[in-house]
Structure formats: structure tokens, C-alpha cells
Structure 1
Amino acid sequence: MTHALPGYVCPDDGTRADARTAPWCCPVCSGPWDLDFTPDPATELTPSAGPNSLWRYGAALPLPGAFSVTLSEGNTPLVPLAERIHAKLDFLMPTGSFKDRGAVMLVELARRLGPERVIADSSGNAGTAVAAYCARAGLSCEIFVPEGTSAKKTEQMRAHGAAVRVVPGGREATAEAARAEADLPGVFYASHVFNPYFLHGTKTYAYEVWEGLGGRLPEALVVPVGNGTLLLGAALAVEELARRGVRPPALVAVQAAAVSPLAAAFEAGAEDTDAVEQRPTLAEGIAIPAPPRARQILAAVRKSGGTFLTVSEEALRAAQRDLAGRGLFVEPTAAACWAAVGPAAPSDPLGGRTAVVPLCGTGLKAGLAT
């Protein structure tokens, strides 16, 4: 039986495209795609009866039919971290970060489309995830990375068989280099920013929180935000679960103070961001000067009744060490949320609400910040 793939729709101008033949971005405005897909809330959702992977949420996912790409990703532990705060240990995913959630969706999509090669741009974790799942699927893969990317992350990409192209400059220069090849014949651009299938993978994070808390969500989901792939995925899940009668949480977005265009726009009441300077920060995974989905991120946080918080470099260092002292060794980016709402935060930004923070990348890739 042949199953149709949900198509793309532009959130800004309504342009639609077939997922099998579409360019990597909207041909009218050059913006990222959304997906023309809404799960039926009447469909029974019984993840405990599904496979031991994020495909357990198949009834809520946009790839119909049988899947073949998996490393038993997902179903990560949810553990108490402080009074009223749980941590979800996504650094225990197969490649060491939450990006596996979106990468498995993109690579399963690529497998069905049958490209000659897959390309992606990444500051590290998304690239290692795409490389690993392409290896699992038997797909040729090339990852574009900015100069200065952690040697441990590029080594992991190469170990999975991916070609690694180091691009002079920062994250934006790397994205531009990848996009220059994205429309070449036979290329599938596994963009964790522009391709919405990635967001429908990351939404399983919130579904697992719902499952882990016994069929409810906390009063706040605290999420580190650069390109916003985890936050926007969580927002999708929150909307879908709300249709099933689950009370939605506030979305609390965290940025590094050194590179915080979204926080600045939120504070100014703006609907979009102005690009900021690419400055060095320990939280390299969220150091995005001009997020392509900025309007969607800001709208999602406002709609939820949430807010933005920023953290200093000193706070990132302290939070990473504090978590390590609790037995949880994560990279500085993954410590950002704990820096924002943990016991060392200058006030109680959660206002006493229950919350879940993601520990979304292992410290083994980056080491201890100095």
C-alpha cells in the first residue's frame, strides 16, 4: 500500500508544495516550510504499546506506514532535579543529544525519497545526528560545519561515514554554504531549521514528558532556544495534546546573553528579530544571530503565556558544574535552562510553577567549560 507524504505549506504566504518535489525553502519568500499535517485527536494514542523508540508515537507523526530507520531513540528518563523541577535526560540519546528526535524523521523521509546524497549544516549536534542516521539508512552524507566546531563532534561525524566540510566564518556562513548546494540534482537538504519534518520529530520530547508525568504536562516547559527546533516542536505537541484535553504549559525560552536576538525582540514587543552580532559564547548550540523561524518562535512563546530569559557566561559555567555535581554531565548549551531557573538564578523566574528542563546534549562532546 502506498502512503502519501504530508506536503509543505509556507506559514507566511500560504504557498504549498509536494514533499517529494519541493525545494528546500518556500520559492516565493525563501522562508522555512511548515507541514500540512494535524493528527486526528480521536485516534487512540497508546505509546506503551508501540516500539521502544519515538515511533511509539506513530499515531501523531506525519510519516505514514512502516518505518525502517531507528536507533531506539527517545523514551529518555525524566528525573527530579529540584523541588517542582524535573529534568529530561535527552543527552542519553544514541548520538548524545535531542537532535536525534528530528534527525530520525528527516532521514526516514530521505530514505523514502531516495536521494543520491544528504547534506546538512550544523554547529555539531544536528550534524552528528544526521550522520548517524544516514549511516543507519545507508545514505551518503555530507555535513557543513563552522570553523571552530568541537573536534569531538566532527570526529563523530566522520566515524559515522559522513564527509565533513569546514566552512570559514560562523554559523550563518555555514548555512549559506550548505544552501548553495541544496537545490542541486539528487541532493536532500536535511535542514533542522527549514524542514518541518524535523519539528515533528522534536515534538516527541513533549509527548514523552506528558507520558512520563502520567498524562499531564508541567506548568512550564523551559527550553534553550537558538533556531527554536525544540521549542517549536514542543509547541506543536502542546497544541496537539490540548485537543486531547491536556492543559497546556507556558513555554519559557532561554538564550545566552551574548547572542540573544529573540529575547531582545520579545522584550521590545516586536514580532520579528533584528540580526545581532555573532559573539563567542559557551552555549554555541543556541548562538544564532538571525533565526529563520523567529516570528514563529516569538508567537509561540507569547501564545503560551511564557517568556524569555537570558543567562551569562559565568552562569553557564556554574550551571554545568552544578549539574555535574548532581551526576549529570552535559555540555554548556544544555546547562542554559538550569542556569536560568535553577537555585543559582537571581530570582524565582518560574513563580513557583512546576517545570521540566531538557538536558539536551552530553558533556562528553564538549568537555567542562573553563
Structure 2
Amino acid sequence: MTALPDLVCSECATPYPVESLAWRCACGGVLDVAEFDFQVDAAALRRRVPSLWRYAEALPIEVDPAITLGEGLSPLIPSRSFAHVQLKLDFLLPTLSFKDRGAVVLATLATRLGVRSAMVDSSGNAGTAMAAYFGRAGIGCTVYVPESTSPGKLAQMRAHGATVELVPGSRADTAAAALQAAGRPGVLYASHVYHPYFLHGVKTYGYEIWEQRGRTLPETVVVPVGNGTMLLGCYLAFRELVAAGLAERMPRLVAVQASACSPLEQAMAQGLDAPELVDAGATIAEGIAIAAPPRGKQILRAVRASGGTIVCVTDTQTAAARRELADEGLFVEPTSAVSFAAVRAAVDEDFDSVSPTWAVAASSLTAGSVVVPLCGAGLKSFA
């Protein structure tokens, strides 16, 4: 077995052995995976398994055949509504969301380290993914979720054998409860936000876009953003592809938030380096209702480095986009519809024309090639 890359603080550069089960630096900074050398063998891809593990060199851990469910390589299809848009169907992954990409990596890591117990906090999809993969690995898993979490997601977690802790209040209250419980000896805090191995699983999404488009990248990728795991994963992939000479340039990343909870959009509009805490209003896009994203500074840096921006859409626009996607044969949860809603708003010019972020986003969202992720299945939500 190859050595596992260690973790390093994004703020003070303090290193942490991955075996330590550290999930945050003593200085309070979030951790990243230390840089490791790799080169994806592009010529060999045609002969490889049709899963995210086809990009084995780019991942920090080797596949465990006993844990993988064949996750990854979700379809990339043309949109019927927009000729310039392709839709990537990650809601077809084993637990019906893109979170499987990171969950399988964390469950594989936990098995490699001999961990017997894990915990996670989630608005739903990460919890269902962790429950499934840790259950498959034979590792006990406790999931902290808001008590308002969709019944379908709760049923899915319990079906996989997870212990579900319902937390009164907001998503932020759930995160706070989990942080109080995190750090117990021998227990992996399998956080899709804090543990950076998760992001490296998610980055396979970006590699797949590149491969499925004939080894080219689109002009724009539109991503729903709460904690930012999909956006940061895509940014990692696109940066690596450009650095390896496998792509000429990085796509513009347009992040989309719900107008009821948009700390990152507000920070982008005001030119801030970090988001300020906002009140999280009620929204049907429960998966991105994050008032204080721990990786907020990294999200803002990544979006700016790509030449993109961050916008928000209303629940009315999101609900309409969800219905439009259903007319295309694609039933997704509301959170998954926000990116499609942003494209619709740009095409119809149904946005605040004085918004500094929309002024930048409109041209990116109507560019010649745009990829929109559909991240979670509609049966997970009764909204």
C-alpha cells in the first residue's frame, strides 16, 4: 500500500498525520490534504472501470473493493431547455446524491486506519451517503441532522443502520452539536466539510466532466453552494487538469445560493475575503442553507481565481426550475434545482440588473458551453 498523504492547516501550515484523526487545526483553521505527486494516465482511461476510481492516481487513497459501490461516472446529457447546457446526473449515484464521491473515500480511509466508529453532521445527503458507506464497511456511524430534515433522508439513514441524532433548530445548531461531540478518542469525525479527503473524492466530478466532454472543459460550471464541497472539489480537479497540461484553461465557476441564506453571495458582492455570519431564513433548498460556511474563504478564493462569481435565486425561481427539470424527465430535490434556476434567470434576464454579481454571472451562464450538476434525487424531499 502507498503511504497516505497527511493533512496541513490552510492558515498556519501546521502538519497533522492523517492517522491522528485530526479534523481542524489548533489555530482554528481548516485542513487540506498535503500535496502529493501524481500524473493521471490519460491513455489508460479507456481500459479502466466505469467509476470514480478510474482516476486512481489523483486520489489520496487506493480503492477498497469491499467498500466501493461503483460510484461515479454519472451521465452527462444535453438539456432540452437550453442548447448550451449539459446536465450531469449525480442524483443517480448509489445513495442518490453526489456526496457518495466523498463518502466512499472517507469510509475507505476509516477502514485503512482501523477506525471502528464515525460521526458526521448533515442536512441530509451527506448523512445518507456516510450511513451507507460506513455501514458497508462495518463501521458504526452516528449522524447529527436538523429535526426538520426531510423524512425520506431520515428513513434512508436509518435503513443503512446509522444512529440518527435529531437536533432542534437550524443547520448551524446541528453543526454546533456535532462539534461538541467531535474529537472523542478513536472516533472519526467524517465531516464532508472539515475532512479534506472528502473533497478529493468529490473532485472526480470535475475529472468526469473533462473526460465525458472529449477531454475538454466547458466555459462555465454552475454549482449550488452552501458548505461548498462540490465547488471546491471541482476547483481542485480543474486546477490539476490545467497544471498537468490536460486542459488549456479553467472553467468559470458560478456558485448559486438561496436568497434566504446567501452569506457567500453577499461577501462576493461586497468584495470581502470571508463571509460574514447571516441569519439563515427558511428555504426549500435545505442543503445549502449554511449561514457560516467553515471553508468560506477558500470558496471565495476559488470562485475569483476561476473568473466566476456567486449569485442567489429565490425559492419561487427554484421551484419553477424543479418543475421544468421534471418536464425534462429529471426529478431532483429543490437544492439541486438552484443552478438550473440561475441559468433560466440569466436567459430570461429575470434577475436584479443592479446586482454586481449578476452583472458578471449573466454572460457566464449564457456562454456557449455550460455544465449544470443535478446533485440529489427528488424522492429525498417532499417539498
TM-score between the two structures when normalised by the length of structure 2: 0.92
CA distance in 2, matches of 1:161, 1:63: 25
Corresponding residue number in structure 1 for 2:368: 353
Tell me how far 1:197 sits from its aligned partner: 0.4
CA distance in 1, matches of 2:262, 2:182: 28
The 5 A counterparts of 1:232-271 are: 232-245=232-245, 246=247, 247-271=249-273
The 5 A counterparts of 1:1-370 are: 2-27=1-26, 29-41=27-39, 43-44=41-42, 46-64=44-62, 68-81=66-79, 82-245=82-245, 246=247, 247-342=249-344, 343-344=347-348, 346=350, 348-349=362-363, 350-367=365-382, 369=383
Tell me how far 1:164 sits from its aligned partner: 0.4
**Change over 3 Å in CA distance of 1:106–1:356 after alignment to 2:** same
Tell me how far 1:65 sits from its aligned partner: 6.8
Mind listing any 5+ residue stretches in structure 1 that lack a counterpart? none
What does the per-residue CA deviation read over 1:61-98, in whole Å, with 9 as the maximum and x for residues that have no partner? 11147554211111100000121110000000100000
CA distance in 2, matches of 1:100, 1:234: 15
Tell me how far 1:187 sits from its aligned partner: 0.5
CA distance in 1, matches of 2:267, 2:330: 32
Mind listing any 5+ residue stretches in structure 2 that lack a counterpart? 352-361
CA distance in 1, matches of 2:36, 2:299: 19
- Secondary structure at the aligned position of 1:20 is classed as helix
CA distance in 2, matches of 1:138, 1:37: 30
Tell me how far 1:351 sits from its aligned partner: 4.1
Give the count of matched residue pairs: 366
Verify the 8 A CA contact 2:101 2:202 in the aligned structure 1.
Answer: yes
What percentage of residue pairs aligned between the two structures are identical? 52
Verify the 8 A CA contact 1:39 1:240 in the aligned structure 2.
Answer: no
Verify the 8 A CA contact 1:41 1:243 in the aligned structure 2.
Answer: no
Verify the 8 A CA contact 1:4 1:64 in the aligned structure 2.
Answer: no
Q: CA RMSD in A?
A: 1.5
TM-score between the two structures when normalised by the length of structure 1: 0.95
Tell me how far 1:45 sits from its aligned partner: 6.1
Moved over 4 A (4+): 42-45
CA distance in 2, matches of 1:308, 1:316: 16
Q: Normalized per residue, which structure has more helix?
A: 2
Tell me how far 1:47 sits from its aligned partner: 3.0
Query: Which stretch shows the higher mean deviation, 349-358 or 135-144?
Result: 349-358
CA distance in 1, matches of 2:302, 2:342: 19
**Change over 3 Å in CA distance of 1:36–1:86 after alignment to 2:** same
CA distance in 1, matches of 2:37, 2:240: 7
**Change over 3 Å in CA distance of 1:66–1:334 after alignment to 2:** closer
Letter in 2 for 1:325: D
Tell me how far 1:52 sits from its aligned partner: 2.7
What does the per-residue CA deviation read over 1:184-238, in whole Å, with 9 as the maximum and x for residues that have no partner? 1120110000000000011000100001000011001110000000000000001
Tell me how far 1:44 sits from its aligned partner: 4.8
CA distance in 2, matches of 1:4, 1:170: 39
